[in-house]
């Protein structure tokens, strides 16, 4: 489980642990991974992992097998978001998102597939984003990196089926905006207003849907489904999408401001049932 030191990753790891799985919690922040594993409790352990390092991903897979006895599920969740007009960002910014969001997903998938192919079974879940199904202003390279990750995942699944591997599954989860520190930090960022334009999910809501992919793998799952249909429709009509941008951004900025007011008033996030 990559990128599991907090936020959505921690919620996914927690729910996997509740299913009785031994969970190897990894994060580029090793201390966060150890704290998350302690929070999950029995059957969980943590370690540092930089998903940009392919050999480190292989070693994480091997360490999981050595401790748990097998590698049944691998979740790629590590990701970064740097917003702003793409023409103002240096190449290093674009490369950083590609290396973590795309290459990191490649490395994790390949590292998990080596033992899964030997066994002939396994389940890989790649947490993408609705940005992998469409794009918008302010998140250009983030979206590009997610497009690369989803194309790699779907193509890899096709390669596995063509090679006769019927019991190895790769699922792509594409959630809408999720209330995590990544999004909370963007309440004043006009370049990430689109994250507030749809259905804001709590981490546990998205994690519930994602963990179900263990039992019901699917190549692409949009969360919620209606947002996936909307994004795909817009993506199929690029001229219409370009004409919609001013109105869409105006509405997104209004929604973002509303979330900020509710957050500052203590009315967001929800306090539970």
Q: What is the mean pLDDT of residues 73-79?
A: 98
**How far is it, in rounded angstroms, from Cα 249 to Cα 191?**
9
Q: How far does CA 70 lie from the centroid of its chain?
A: 23
Q: Is the pLDDT of residue 273 over 60?
A: no
Residue 152 covered by a domain: yes
At residue 271, the pLDDT reads 80
Q: Is the pLDDT of residue 132 over 70?
A: yes
Q: What is the mean pLDDT of residues 133-139?
A: 95
Residue 47 covered by a domain: no
Residue 32 covered by a domain: no
Half-sphere exposure for 251 (CA within 13 Å, toward CB): 7
CATH, residue 178: 3.40.50.720
Residue 204 covered by a domain: yes
Residue 260 covered by a domain: yes
Residue matched to tokens 């897979």: 61
The count of domains in the chain is 1
Q: What is the mean pLDDT of residues 1-7?
A: 97
pLDDT digits (tens, 9 = 90+) for 87-107: 999 999 999 999 999 999 999
Range of the domain at 80: 69-264
Residue 51 covered by a domain: no
Q: Is the pLDDT of residue 260 over 80?
A: yes
**How far is it, in rounded angstroms, from Cα 174 to Cα 210?**
9
Q: What is the mean pLDDT of residues 2-27?
A: 98
165 noted as active-site residue: no
Residue 121 covered by a domain: yes
- Determine which one of 45, 74, 106, 142 is catalytic: 142
Residue 125 covered by a domain: yes
Q: Are 15 and 41 in contact (CB under 8 A)?
A: no
pLDDT tier, 240 (very low <50, low <70, confident <90, very high otherwise): very high
Q: Is the pLDDT of residue 272 over 80?
A: no
Mean pLDDT, the chain, integer: 97
């Amino acid at each position: 489980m990559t990128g599991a030191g907090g936020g959505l990753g921690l919620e996914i790891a927690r729910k996997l642990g509740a299913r009785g799985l031994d969970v190897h919690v990894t994060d580029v922040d090793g201390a966060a991974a150890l704290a998350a594993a302690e929070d999950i409790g029995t059957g969980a352990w943590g370690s540092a992992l930089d998903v940009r390092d392919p050999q480190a991903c292989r070693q994480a897979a091997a360490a999981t097998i050595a401790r748990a006895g097998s590698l049944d599920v691998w979740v790629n969740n590590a990701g970064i978001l740097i917003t702003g007009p793409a023409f103002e960002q240096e190449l290093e910014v674009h490369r950083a998102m590609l290396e973590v969001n795309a290459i990191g997903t490649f490395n994790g998938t390949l590292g998990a597939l080596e033992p899964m192919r030997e066994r002939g079974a396994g389940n890989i879940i790649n947490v993408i984003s609705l940005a992998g199904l469409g794009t918008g202003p302010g998140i250009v390279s983030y979206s590009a990196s997610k497009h690369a990750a989803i194309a790699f995942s779907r193509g890899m699944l096709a390669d596995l089926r063509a090679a006769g591997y019927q019991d190895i599954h790769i699922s792509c989860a594409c959630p809408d905006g999720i209330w995590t520190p990544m999004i909370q930090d963007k309440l004043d960022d006009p370049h990430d207003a689109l994250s507030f334009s749809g259905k804001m999910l709590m981490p546990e809501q998205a994690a519930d849907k994602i963990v179900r992919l263990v039992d019901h793998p699917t190549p692409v799952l949009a969360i919620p489904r209606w947002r996936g249909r909307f994004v795909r429709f817009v993506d199929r009509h690029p001229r219409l999408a370009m004409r919609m941008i001013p109105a869409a951004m105006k509405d997104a900025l209004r929604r973002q401001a509303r979330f900020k007011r509710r957050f500052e008033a203590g009315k967001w996030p929800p306090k539970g049932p």
